[in-house]
Amino acid sequence: MNWSLRRAAAFALVASLSLLAPLLGRAAAAPFVLVAAAAAAVPEGRLFEVFSTSRDRREGRLWTLVGFSLAASGVGLLVPLFEVPVGVFVASVLIVGYGDLGRRLVLVVRENRALSMVGFVALGALAALAGQAVVAALLGRPAAYPEWVFLAASGALAAGILRSVFVGRDDPVVLVTVALLLWLFAVLAPFADVPAATAWERVLVALVVTSAFGYVSYALDATSVAGMLTGVLLGLLAVVLGDYGWFVVLIAFFAIGSLTTKFRYDQKLERGVAEDNEGARGTGNVLGNSAAALLALLLYAAHAHVPLSGLAYQFAYAGAVATALADTLSSEVGGLFDTPRLVTTFERVEPGTDGAVTWQGELAGLAGAALIAAICVAVFGFGLAGVGVVVAAGFVGMTADSVAGAVIEGGVVGNQGVNFLATLSGGVAGGALALLVGVA
């Protein structure tokens, strides 16, 4: 067993201490507090060799293990203080601990980053699923496999995305973030309101379909590894927290946007207006275009506890996605033409200038918003007024993107931040217009 694999296996064993939580009750954090204290006092020896990273060896302390254990302790304290479900605590710790083991197991066999992240997600999800089953057995609770599968898969995907950005030293960030997300998903997931057969269907269909789309997008070089995982997670949440229609709207943006990005890519590259990485979209790009829609989806799932109706958040979701597609089409099509003008002054500028627009790009953007509106008619049953709301929201968001690009991009925020502000503007416009015209 090589050094990295041995260390990952040791961390997985430490993560397994979380399975004691049902027996320890309010003291669920205690084992990890003890591990952190012991790790801080070990400067050398066999245990140091097993758990140390290269950075730990340089610094002479097991700070990586200390960080992981303190993060697990912090999450464990949430169990008694805020009544975080024990299953969420256990699943979060096991996902990070066993996920890294899964990644290392793949790398031993084949040095492939994409496959290693699949190993991370797969073993992390399996460990989280098993952990939740153990918690239920120890506490004498009935099995809830659809919910467990959903939490295990969504948590493992979220951890995989974070792991692709951070390194092993950043375990505290990954662990705490995953725990908070799983806590939110556990509260919002509607499993208590649907029959078990329906819950199974939605979870399994979501996993199969989103994974298939994710694989195809990666195979076609439309997304990076992290972008693929992000898309799969967003699709899973769309199906489970919304419904199949929400997924159809989202996947329409991903599919059409990716194809448009690849359209005449060499020509765009020559003109200096092409997306980086041969058009493969990473996590930042995917989230920049989808975070506002995800926020609307979460608010829809929580609409019984927040102001406004669920329908208002549905229009906000449609407006955010319409903006994302409108902005993508306007940029990708408009960048092929030679007469761009700055949106704030209408003076002629070079292609690729932030905030530049062309009439061809504007028409393409409106067509994209109209396409999302048409899909919403089919999957959400929006009427003519609803179509107008979605198209208008897409136009508002697309225009906001151009204005923000001309005014603040490159200084205050980057391209991904501008995309988020634009889709947020489109989402707010969609919800507000729906309320104003009385369709929500």
Residue ranges in 110-222 assigned as alpha helix (H): 113-139, 145-165, 171-188, 196-219
**Count of CB atoms situated within 10 Å of the CB of 345:** 10
Question: What is residue 280's predicted lDDT score, i.e. its pLDDT?
Answer: 58
Question: What is residue 271's predicted lDDT score, i.e. its pLDDT?
Answer: 58
206-215 long-range CB contacts below 8 Å, 24 or more apart? 206/235, 206/236, 206/238, 206/239, 206/240, 206/247, 207/149, 207/153, 207/236, 209/235, 209/239, 209/247, 210/235, 210/236, 210/239, 210/247, 213/251, 213/254, 213/255
Q: Collect all residues with Cβ–Cβ distance below 8 Å to 46 and sequence separation of at least 6.
A: none
d(CA 12, CA 16): 6
Per-residue pLDDT of the chain (440 residues; tens, 9 = 90+): 588 899 999 999 999 999 999 999 999 999 999 999 999 988 888 889 999 988 888 888 999 999 999 999 999 999 999 999 999 999 999 999 999 999 999 999 888 888 899 999 999 999 999 999 999 999 999 999 999 999 999 999 999 998 887 765 678 999 999 999 999 999 998 887 788 888 899 999 999 999 998 888 888 777 778 888 888 999 999 999 999 999 999 999 988 988 887 766 666 566 555 555 555 566 777 888 899 999 999 999 998 888 889 999 999 999 999 999 999 999 888 767 777 888 888 888 877 777 888 888 899 999 999 999 999 999 999 999 999 999 999 999 999 999 988 888 776 788 888 999 999 999 999 999 999 999 97
3-state secondary structure of 194: coil
Distances (CA, A) of 357 to 48, 94, 407: 59, 49, 14
3-state secondary structure of 223: strand
Cα–Cα–Cα angle for 87, 50, 177, nearest 5°? 35
